[in-house]
Amino acid sequence: MYFKASLDLFSKIITAMVAGLLLILIVFQTVPFTQINYWSIGLSGSLYLALFLVTYGFHTTGYEITDTELIIKRPFKNKIYDRSSIAQVVPIENIVLRKSIRTFGVGGVFGYWGKFANVKYGVTTWYATRRKDAVLVAFTTNHKIVLTPNDSSGFVTYLNKK
């Protein structure tokens, strides 16, 4: 079963702003004011473009649940979890989610993914596209992931079926 994951408005705005700034850097790269500015803008433009492409490649596009696996769909490489190692699947209250701190990851460009810390849930790995209607998947190994399918209640119900 496939569950779509759409970006929230904030993430769409941040992604558009970063893309616009990247475009400005690339345009200025072709207008050499001085030799130093030309190379510094070209280098930073290339670095930002590479980071933008990596961010795109690892953002979440959806979630697939098979009989044996939970698959986080991403353009470059899917992340696969074994369903038999899932201990608990529960919805997260929006207020609890807002109290999370990004420790290493992306917080807006093409969604929210990486390592986040939370007082209630501890360290979690996010594969999220929105900042609300999240689902916590806890594994028997004490690893926890946060997902944001468009139909979060249907996702929880379907994933809890063994």
Is residue 38 over pLDDT 70?
A: no
pLDDT of residue 100: 85
pLDDT tens-digit readout, 11-32:
999 999 988 888 777 666 655 5
Contact criterion met (CB below 8 Å) for 148 and 25:
no
* Domain interval for residue 15: 1-162
- Domain total of the chain: 1
Q: What is the pLDDT of residue 87?
A: 93
More confident residue, 106 or 63: 63
Alpha helices for the chain (secondary structure H): 9-29, 35-57, 94-98, 152-160
Mean pLDDT confidence for 101-107: 87
State the CATH number of the domain containing residue 116.
2.30.29.30
